[in-house]
Copies of this chain bind each other. A is one copy, B any other.
Amino acid sequence: MDDFNKLVYSLSKLPGVGRKSAVRMGYYLLDHKESAVEMFSNVIESIQNIKTCSVCGNYCSEDPCPICSDHQRDMSILCIIESQSELLAIEETGAYKGQYHILGGALDPLSGKGPDSLRINELLDRLANGHFTEVLIATNPTVEGESTFLYLQNILSEKGCRISRIATGIPMGGSLEYTDKFTLSKALASKHYL
C-alpha cells in the first residue's frame, strides 16, 4: 500500500468518513501540507490533554470538570445520561442547571454490556455521599436505554430520592400522522392535564 492509500485508509477510520470523503480530505491535506501537519499535531495534543472527570465522567481539561465544581448550579438534582455527547446536547438547551452522571453506555446483554461495565458503583457512591433530592434518568428511549432506566429505577427506588424520567413524545415540529405508533402511544399515555 503506497503512502497516499495509507493516508486515505487512516482518514476513512474517522466516523462519518467513507472512502470518497477520505480521498477528498487526503488531496486537501496534501494541498495544504504544513497547516495539515500542524492541525493534526494540535488534534493529538488536545486528545492527550483531555481527561475524564472523576465525579461525573465527562471529558474535561481539569478534574473535577467545570460543571461538577460550579457551586452556582443546583446540587440537589442529578441527571443520569448514557454518554458525554448527551451532556453537551442537554447543556446546549440551557433548560437544566443540575449535576450530571455519565454511565458510559447502556445495558446491552447481547453485546455483553452488563451493569458492571457501567459507572453504577460511582453513581451509588455519589447518591450516598451527596445531597441529591431528585434523580432524573435521561437514558435514550431505545431498547437499551429503556432497560437501563428500568434497572436504575429498581436499584434506586430505596435510596430516598425522587426518581424522574425524561419525557418521550412527538418531537416539536413533528406531525401525528408521520409519528411511529410506539412514540404516538407513549405520547398518548403520557398526556398531561392542564
Q: Which residues of A contact B (CB under 8 A)?
A: 2-4, 6-7, 10-11, 13-16, 21, 23-25, 27-30, 33, 35-37, 39-44, 46-50, 59-61, 83-85, 88
Contacts and interface: CB of A to CB of B under 8 A. Distances in A.
Given A15-B24, A24-B15, A40-B40, A46 B84 contact: no
B16 A47 contact: no
Given A39-B13, A40-B40, A59-B4, A47 B25 contact: no
B50 A85 contact: no
B46 A37 contact: no
A84 B47 contact: no
Contacts of A29: 43, 47
A14 B3 contact: no
| A interface majority secondary structure | helix
Given A16-B21, A25-B14, A88-B23, A46 B83 contact: no
B15 A25 contact: yes
A39 B10 contact: yes
B3 A43 contact: no
A7 B2 CA distance: 29
B50 A4 contact: yes
A44 B37 contact: yes
Contacts of A10: 39-40, 42-43, 46
Contacts of A42: 6, 10
Contact of A46 (B4, B16, B46): B4
A40 B41 CA distance: 8
Contacts of A60: 2, 4
Contacts of A15: 24-25, 28
